[in-house]
Amino acid sequence: MSDDKTIDGTAREVRETEAAKPASRAVPRRTWVVGAVALPLALGAVGLSLAQGTPFQPTPVAPVAIQALAPSGATAIKGEVAEIFGNKFVVQDGTGRALVETGREGEGGGLVAKGETVTVQGRFETGFLRARVLTHGDGRTLLLGPAGGPPTGSLDWAKDRLGLGPKPDMAALTASLQAAGYGDVRVTGQGPRHVEVAAKDRDGREHQLHVGFDGQVRERPEPGLPPL
């Protein structure tokens, strides 16, 4: 009988010891599951915040009459959409007609509607206005082509989206251009540490320039020539 009681008491003591163990030593399985789900969601939120950085915006320019279009890295026209041909469309005003090219974004011909009034800003060369900014009559604006800044997904891109990357001091850069003899400065693009600029020299001739954030000014090569 005494042996039975001893075994009984021992069994009760073991159960009481196990029950007395601190719960903090064992992490419930459900906690691991919740953590595994929460981590991708947190990383996804970071990715979303990075992707929502402010896109580059070219310097706005006032539209000119289509008849007055001349080779330029930054010019604009305003008129009615007369014809649509895939990623190209014709804009006409009271002075003439111009062919606009929209690039990859315009494939399918859905960017504009025939008969609507649009303002198109971009580079005019070889008879085409290569659109960079498209503004509809209701004020909706679409930026076409590269987003500007560092390549998407790069470390510089991440820093830029978090506000940690280098920023151009446009007042200082404009002063550098003016000191070099340029005026009518219009920013057309942006890289990791430089901006692309259309500007005119003292004789009124237009130039395409590469301006580093450090103020160094270089002439962009003509199409077909190797980059600087």
pLDDT, tens digit, 9 for 90 and up, residues 107-116: 888 999 999 9
Sorting pLDDT into bands at 50, 70 and 90, what band is 55? low
* Contact criterion met (CB below 8 Å) for 225 and 209: no
pLDDT at residue 27 greater than cutoff 70: no
pLDDT at residue 40 greater than cutoff 90: no
pLDDT at residue 82 greater than cutoff 90: yes
| 149 phi/psi in degrees, rounded to 5 | 85, -165
Q: How far apart are CA 113 and CA 119, in angstroms?
A: 13
Residue 89, SS3? strand
pLDDT of residue 20: 46
End-to-end CA distance of the chain: 100
pLDDT at residue 124 greater than cutoff 80: yes
For the entire predicted model, the pTM comes to: 0.65
129: number of Cβ within 10 Å: 24
Q: Which residue has the higher pLDDT, 49 or 217?
A: 217
H/E stretch holding 170 reads: helix 170-179
pLDDT of residue 197: 92
Average pLDDT, the chain: 76
Q: What is the percent of the chain with per-residue pLDDT over 90, rounded to a whole number?
A: 42
Residue 75, SS3? strand
Average pLDDT over residues 22-30: 52
pLDDT, tens digit, 9 for 90 and up, residues 165-196: 677 888 899 998 999 999 999 999 888 888 89
